[in-house]
Chains A and B, each alone.
Chain A
Amino acid sequence: MKTNLEFGPICRALLRNKVGAVLIALQIALTMTIVVNAIFIIVERQALMQRESGIDEANSFYLTSTGFGNDFEPKRVIEQDLDVIRNTPGVIDAIQINAIPISGGGWSMSLTTEPGDDQEDVSTANYFVDAHGINALDLEVIAGRNFTATDIRWRERNQPDWPDNAMITKALAEKLFPDIPWQSVVGKTVYIGDDEPVIVTGIVDKLQAPWIGWSELENAMLSPEKMVSESTRYFIRTEPGERDRLMAELEDTLANAYGNRLIRNVTTVTETRERSYRQHSAMIKILSTVMVLLTLITAMGIIGLTSFNVNRRRKQIGTRRALGASKQAIVRYFMLENVIISTTGILLGVAMTIGLNMLLIEWFAMTALDWYYIPAGMVVLFVVGQLAVLGPALKAAATPPAIATRTV
């Protein structure tokens, strides 16, 4: 094999210019370390961002109504408002709700399957909705039944007790009763805040909690109640394409319907998702930029150094060409030289990649890298190295053999 024979001279030539080769290898190793870890973080964050909240995000929005003045009657205004909103053309349904999924703020309680404060508990987010909740939030009751108008009660200010029944998500049903199929959780009694019994009358398919960083994100409980409060939130689901028009229209309608109140924070769920996940999308964008720039810098470094080597060895290249070496042989020389440097760098890079990942786990409680990121990173860095060296190598191959005869 001809290529094998070329390893000897290449290695000897490299040893004469150790520092340059070592620098490139180090650069490749560090680039691999950063790129692989960055890609891993990016993929992880993307997976987080793709989780679905369970509600009709594209066609929903919400707003806050805050009444003031001493003659403000919350119950009457809330009933009127809901009536007005529900009868507006383009609105599918609307509810009063205490918290918005994935928005960052809400209620949570602990549930147990036996009464008592020493029981193992499961935390859940709590949403207060009426019989329209399922429709407005675009949920499906997959076992049991939806709330009816007779289930709904008013929760007075600071009233601590809970209605007799509730619906829970399938995920929560499975967490509470891991030993039985989720369908049979309907009819079971759970205890809220240690000792207050609540009967599960329905299971819904999927609804996320308000806190996207919470480990119990899929645990949610729907409580059949409306709240007596000056400041209240309405959640509105519209026909596709009607959302933006209705946001402006309903803001005006509600503000005009009753003078002594403010309508504020008219917000789409799309915007809420963007805000909640902004940190992750920012991290993805920043790391992507860093990765691209870094790879470019390394590639440029390889190009610069190889070009320099090519220039310095013009005479030798010319001599080789004059002695009968083909153009391919010259290109192959530089490519092989890069293979040796890259392989060294990549092997070092594997160790450093794992090292950085371990540090990130230790310092920032991150998860361990999946093994296949490493071979993928090795291939990418290898290809980048070969591509970078190709230009200068072709230039080297174009060296006319006649140059060997000059200036010597």
Chain B
Amino acid sequence: MFYYYLKLASKSIKRTPWLSGLMMLAIALGIGACMTTITVNYLMSANPIPEKSDQLYYVQLDSWSPHFAAREPNEPPDQLTWTDATNLMQAQQAFRQSAMASSGGVVQPDNPDVKPFMASLRLNFADFFPMFNAPFLYGSGWQYSDDTARKQVAVISKETNDRVFGGENSVGKSITIAGEMFTVVGVLDEWVLVPRFYDVTTGAFSETEDVFIPFYMKQVMQLSNGGNTNCWKSPEGEGFEAFLMSECINYQMWVELPTDAERDAYMTFLNAYVDEQKALGRFPRPHNNRLSDVMTWMETEEVVADDAQIMMYMAFLFLFVCILNTVGLLLSKFATRNGDVALRRAIGATKGAIFAQYITETALIGLIGGVLGLALASLGLQAIESLYGDFISELVHLDATMVVLSFGIAITASVLAGCYPAWRVCSIPPASQLKTQ
């Protein structure tokens, strides 16, 4: 029976190619617009580390000025001072913890054929790698004892390893970074994080760094500040140490706290720490410390761009207009078939059979519209990539979820659009229609 309806549907579509084409085009455009914008939003708001996003917490301490908040309304600063980052690390009160900074430096390969190049650096503690499930190709991260001993060890990205060591296992080899010799202890595999949640202060969709070295190297090598540096008061005194000891913020910190009890305990510890610092004359503001898990932090930092959301809502409205359009056109189309329907009803077809026949037709139109829409969506994503540039390239690929979703929306939309016209056409009284023929 279904096959018969399908045959009738395709015949009917062929009979009115322009009208049917217009309906398919409308559905395709609506679906294409929705898919494109939903994909961008979906990937922007993706959970980058679903297995433990509710156990990782970003640490914020309100070390700001007594006269004004770091961010309105009364939000603590988004980064820590060197003093607080190092104090919290020394306390070792969490299951895992890592303070972080970003910087840059020239990598000088020993091989004279490979030109020196500028590498992005992340300065972090040993826990960084297990905490964020960093994938290793060779070797592993370093130990906390290497951090405290200020050992010059490095973990390098796959790309850096390919560039400097031609892709071979470089664990144990040395590499010159920003003028100092480091020993490679680990090589990461491809590590794509969308968003790169561990540091969103320099843009949520940046790539993971080229080289990872211990945090204290910042002090040892007097490395430059990456990312944003904000100060509510000028450093006291001159030189690098004075800057490190100042109230300037440039450091991020994450802790891993597997249970709620541990989280509460860590919060208590943070408050006690701030009280301690208050006694030393710091932290002039009232207690305002935060522990935000990954998704909360992404929301606070507004990782999903407003423009992307505006476009998505516009696309939904667009789809709605396309559906209205389709309903109108279907009504017209089916109304021309009143005679046929009346005849079929008169010779015994049930209302249900008629309804099924016309719904099949609209579903077919929806399906074709959906396929077209999917093609339009991949064009749309390409257009978005070319409009926004490379940084967004991780955000513009269709995945299986999106494909299924788009067919779902297309068919649901067109069947919903077809319901009213199909109901109208099957509820006409056969007698009156037959009479006028």
Please give the residue numbers on chain A whose beta carbons come within 8 Å of chain B beta carbons, in ascending order: 19-20, 23-24, 26-27, 30-31, 33-34, 37-38, 41, 66, 68-70, 117-118, 156-161, 193-194, 196, 231, 262, 264, 275, 278-279, 281-283, 285-287, 290, 293-294, 297-298, 300-301, 304-305, 307-309, 311-312, 356, 360, 363-364
- B324 contacts which of A26, A194, A293, A311 (Cβ < 8 Å)? A26
Give CA–CA (A307, B336) in the complex, Å. 12
Q: B210-218, B381-389, B407-415: which lies at the A interface?
A: B381-389
Q: Give the residue name and chain of the B residue nearest to A118 (CB).
A: B67
Docked-complex contact B233 and A117, CB < 8 angstroms = yes
Given contacts A27-B325, A297-B321, A301-B329, contact A262 B243 (CB under 8 A): no
Interface residue tally on B, bucketed by range: 35 or more
Question: Given A158-B238, A160-B234, A279-B307, does the pair A298, B325 have CB atoms closer than 8 Å?
Answer: yes
Indicate whether A160 sits within 8 Å of B65 (C-beta atoms), given known contacts A30-B321, A33-B317, A281-B387: no
Contacts of A307 in B (CB 8 A): 332
Beyond A117-B233, A160-B243, A304-B332, 9 additional contacts (C-beta under 8 Å) are A30-B324, A158-B239, A160-B238, A275-B389, A294-B321, A297-B26, A300-B22, A304-B19, A312-B336
> Of A38, A69, A294, A305, which is within 8 A of B329 by CB?
A305
Across-interface contacts of A118 in B (CB, < 8 A): 67
* Contact status B118-A23, CB under 8 Å: no
Q: Which residues of the other chain, B, contact A301 by a CB distance below 8 angstroms? A: 26, 324-325, 328-329
**Of A297, A309, A364, which contacts B325 at CB under 8 A?**
A297
Given contacts A262-B116, A278-B389, A290-B314, contact A68 B324 (CB under 8 A): no
Question: Which one of B104, B242, B317 lies within 8 Å of A34 (CB-CB)?
Answer: B317
Q: Please give the distance in Å from A289's CB to the nearest CB on chain B.
A: 8
Query: A38 touching B314 by the CB < 8 A rule?
Result: yes
Q: Is the CB of A279 within 8 A of B233?
A: no
The 7 closest A-B pairs by CB, nearest first: A308-B332, A282-B387, A301-B325, A23-B328, A193-B234, A68-B106, A27-B324
Give the complex CA separation of A278 and B331 in angstroms: 43
Q: Tell me what chain A mostly uses at the interface: helix, strand, loop, or mixed.
A: helix
Q: Is B310 an interface residue when CB atoms closer than 8 A count as contact?
A: yes
Instruction: Give min CB distance, A121 to chain B, whole Å.
Output: 9
B33 touches A290 (CB 8 A): yes
Contact A159 B420 (CB under 8 A): no
Within 42-81 of B, Cβ neighbours of A (below 8 Å) are at: 65, 67
User: Which residues B348-406 have CB closer than 8 A to chain A?
Assistant: 383-384, 387-389
Q: Is B322 an interface residue (CB 8 A)?
A: yes
For A158, list chain B residues within 8 Å (CB): 222, 238-240, 242-243
Chain A nearest CB, measured from B381 CB (Å): 12
